[in-house]
Structure 1
Amino acid sequence: MADATTRRASNALSAAMVRTVQEPGKYHDGGGTGLFLRVDPNGSRFWVQRVTIRGKRRELGLGSPPLVTLAEARDKATDNKRLARAGGDPLAEKRAARGTLTFAEAVERYLEGKLAEFRNDKHRKQWRATLNTYAAPKIGKMQVEAIEVRDVLRVLEPIWTTKTETASRLRGRIEAVLSWATVAGHRTGDNPARWGGNLAELLPKPSKVTKGGNHPALALGDVPRWWQELSKREGMAARALEFLTMCAARSGEVRGMTWGEVDLGGGHGATRATSATWTIPADRMKAEREHRVPLTPGAVALLLSIGGTGDGDDWQKPGDDELVFPAPRGGAMSDMTISAVMRRMNEAEVKAGGAGWLDSRSKRPAVPHGLRSTFRDWAAERGYERDMAEMALAHNVGTEVERAYRRTDYVERRRAMLASWVSFLSGDSNPANNVVKLGGV
Structure 2
Amino acid sequence: MALLTDTKARHIKPDDKPLPHGGITGLALHPSSIKGHGKWVLRYVSPVTQKRRNAGLGSYPEISIAEAARLAQTMREQLASGDDPLELKKAKTTKVIIPTFEEAARQVHTELLPGWRNQKHGKQWISTLEQHVFPVLGSVFLNEITPANVADVLRPFWMRLPETSSRVKQRIHKVMQWAWAHGHCSANPVDVVDHLLPQQVSASIRTEHQPAMPWKVIPLYVASRVYSTDRYNVTRALLLFTILTASRSGEARAMRWSEVDFKRNIWTIPSSRMKSGIKHRIPLSSQAVEILGQMRGLHEELVFPSPRKQTVLTDMVLTSFLRRTKAISDTPGRDAVAHGFRSSFRDWCSEHRYSHDIAERALAHTIKNKSEAAYHRTDLLDERRSMMQAWADYVFSSVE
Under TM normalisation by the shorter chain, which class is it?
0.5 to 0.7
Distance in 1 (CA, whole Å) between partners of 2:206 and 2:129 is 26
Contact 1:255–1:333 under 8 Å retained in 2: yes
Q: What is the match of residue 268 of structure 2?
A: 279
Distance in 1 (CA, whole Å) between partners of 2:373 and 2:250 is 24
Q: What is the match of residue 219 of structure 2?
A: 224
Contact 1:277–1:292 under 8 Å retained in 2: yes
What amino acid maps onto 2:213 in structure 1?
L
What amino acid maps onto 1:251 in structure 2?
S
Query: What SS class does the counterpart of residue 338 from structure 2 fall into?
Result: coil
Are 1:197 and 2:155 an aligned pair?
Answer: yes
Query: What SS class does the counterpart of residue 154 from structure 2 fall into?
Result: coil
Query: What SS class does the counterpart of residue 405 from structure 1 fall into?
Result: coil
Distance in 1 (CA, whole Å) between partners of 2:333 and 2:226 is 20
Q: What is the match of residue 364 of structure 2?
A: 394
Aligned runs of 1:302-341 on 2, under 5 Å? 302-308=291-297, 319=300, 322-327=301-306, 328-341=308-321
5+ residue gaps, structure 2, are: 1-90, 140-148, 165-201
Out of 127, 133, 140, the residue aligned to residue 173 of structure 1 is 127
Q: What is the match of residue 290 of structure 2?
A: 301
Contact 1:391–1:397 under 8 Å retained in 2: no
Q: What is the match of residue 124 of structure 1?
A: 119
Question: 1:368 deviation in Å?
Answer: 0.5
Question: 1:178 deviation in Å?
Answer: 5.8
5+ residue gaps, structure 1, are: 1-12, 20-36, 38-44, 48-60, 65-109, 132-168, 186-190, 266-274, 310-317, 347-355, 429-435
Query: What SS class does the counterpart of residue 100 from structure 2 fall into?
Result: strand
Question: 1:367 deviation in Å?
Answer: 0.5
Query: What SS class does the counterpart of residue 223 from structure 1 fall into?
Result: helix
Q: State percent identity of aligned pairs.
A: 30
Q: What is the match of residue 251 of structure 2?
A: 253
Distance in 1 (CA, whole Å) between partners of 2:295 and 2:246 is 20
Deviations 1:66-103 (A, max 9, x none): xxxxxxxxxxxxxxxxxxxxxxxxxxxxxxxxxxxxxx
Question: 1:307 deviation in Å?
Answer: 1.5
Out of 204, 208, 214, the residue aligned to residue 209 of structure 2 is 214
Cα 1:306/1:195, change in 2 over 3 Å: farther
What amino acid maps onto 2:318 in structure 1?
I
**RMSD across aligned C-alpha pairs, in angstroms?**
3.6
Distance in 1 (CA, whole Å) between partners of 2:128 and 2:361 is 35
Q: What is the match of residue 33 of structure 2?
A: none
Distance in 1 (CA, whole Å) between partners of 2:154 and 2:136 is 18
Are 1:373 and 2:343 an aligned pair?
Answer: yes
Out of 366, 386, 395, the residue aligned to residue 416 of structure 1 is 386
Aligned runs of 1:35-114 on 2, under 5 Å? 37=98, 45-46=99-100, 114=109
Question: 1:220 deviation in Å?
Answer: 2.1
Deviations 1:142-187 (A, max 9, x none): xxxxxxxxxxxxxxxxxxxxxxxxxxx7xx73234664577777xx
Contact 2:259–2:267 under 8 Å retained in 1: yes
What amino acid maps onto 2:129 in structure 1?
E
Distance in 2 (CA, whole Å) between partners of 1:237 and 1:279 is 21
Cα 1:205/1:183, change in 2 over 3 Å: closer
Contact 1:115–1:124 under 8 Å retained in 2: no
Deviations 1:379-432 (A, max 9, x none): 00000000100000000136323333333211111111011111111126xxxx
Distance in 1 (CA, whole Å) between partners of 2:368 and 2:204 is 29
Structure 1 runs, 4 residues or longer, greater than 6 Å off: 110-113, 181-185
Contact 2:133–2:153 under 8 Å retained in 1: no
Distance in 1 (CA, whole Å) between partners of 2:163 and 2:108 is 31
Distance in 2 (CA, whole Å) between partners of 1:258 and 1:379 is 28
Question: 1:124 deviation in Å?
Answer: 2.6
Question: 1:238 deviation in Å?
Answer: 1.9
Q: What is the match of residue 99 of structure 1?
A: none
What amino acid maps onto 2:359 in structure 1?
A
Distance in 2 (CA, whole Å) between partners of 1:204 and 1:182 is 19
Cα 1:196/1:304, change in 2 over 3 Å: same
Query: What SS class does the counterpart of residue 374 from structure 2 fall into?
Result: helix
Distance in 1 (CA, whole Å) between partners of 2:377 and 2:240 is 31
Q: What is the match of residue 243 of structure 1?
A: 241
Distance in 2 (CA, whole Å) between partners of 1:111 and 1:255 is 31
Question: 1:202 deviation in Å?
Answer: 3.4
Query: What SS class does the counterpart of residue 388 from structure 1 fall into?
Result: helix
What amino acid maps onto 2:253 in structure 1?
R
Cα 1:180/1:197, change in 2 over 3 Å: closer
Which is higher, the Rg of structure 1 or of structure 2? 2
Distance in 2 (CA, whole Å) between partners of 1:305 and 1:243 is 11
Out of 383, 386, 404, the residue aligned to residue 374 of structure 2 is 404
